[in-house]
Amino acid sequence: MNGVHDMGGMHGMGPIQREENEPVFHARWEARVMALNLAMAAWRKWNIDASRHEIELIPPAEYLRMSYYEKWFARLVELAAKTGLVTRAELESGKPAPGSVKATPALAAENVPKLLANGTLASRAIPRTPRFQVGQQVRARNMHPAGHTRLPRYARGKQGTVDRHHGVFVFPDTNALFLGEKPQHVYSVRFAARELWGDQASPRDAVYLDMWDDYLEPA
């Protein structure tokens, strides 16, 4: 979807401030938020694409104000309420509703290292002929979906070259809305910087984007 989160190529955002020797977490609460996200996701009430889309639904002014893990926390609160893991009243009070059943955690502490090491695979072993071949000229579709998409605005309508074929993966656009995985081929597509940014860009630079079948059309 189009929104403030899709900042690639936008002017007026200022330079990226790189922090030397940046710690994994700047405060203990950030680590706790990450742990809560992992623990709650283990209930499998949502998927990674739905969780990304939930962050996109944060109002723009709030999105720009929030830090990285503040967005994670806001996302978790909304997903937990929307999927019935907690009620809005419980979130407000910080206490379980009278008579609610205490559930057994879906993620046990001893299983956390394995989860962090392996993650959740999005690849799918489905025999399907790729629509595009390495070296083929393609164009990113000029699409503006209302839901989640991994196709950035700055690449839409731009021409590139298929540089690599990754295999078949879950399609984020449908998976985020619980409309099915719709697995399809993913390619690394090379876009010349001048194709994306115009003549002011360096002729030596390029951007490589991972693109699903549905994002592309023959050039």
* Per-residue pLDDT tens over the stretch 181-212: 999 999 999 999 999 999 999 999 999 999 99
CA distance 208 to 192: 9
Alpha helices (H) in the chain, listed in sequence order: 28-41, 48-56, 60-65, 68-82, 88-93, 112-118, 172-175, 193-197
Distances (CA, A) of 162 to 122, 195, 198, 213: 21, 15, 20, 11
Tokens of 53: 């889309």
Q: Which pLDDT value is given to residue 119?
A: 82
b/e 4-15 (16+ beta carbons within 10 angstroms → b): eeeeeeeeeeee
| Domain definitions of the chain by residue range | 28-118, 137-218
Percent of the chain with pLDDT over 90: 84
Question: Domain spanning 137-218 has what CATH number?
Answer: 2.30.30.50
The total number of residues shown for the chain amounts to: 219
What is the reported pLDDT for 179?
97
What's the start-to-end Cα distance of the chain, in Å? 24
- Dihedral sign, CA of 206, 207, 213, 214? negative
pLDDT over threshold 90, residue 35: yes
Residues 6+ apart with CB under 8 A from 1: 53, 56, 145, 146, 147, 148, 149
**For residue range 110-147, what is the model confidence (pLDDT) as tens digits?**
999 988 888 888 999 999 899 999 999 999 999 999 99
- Angstrom distance (rounded) from CA 115 to CA 90: 28
Q: Does domain 28-118 have CATH number 1.10.472.20?
A: yes
Residue appearing with tokens 């490589």: 208
Asked whether the domain spanning 137-218 has the same topology as the one spanning 28-118, the reply is: no
Per-residue model confidence (pLDDT) at position 120: 85
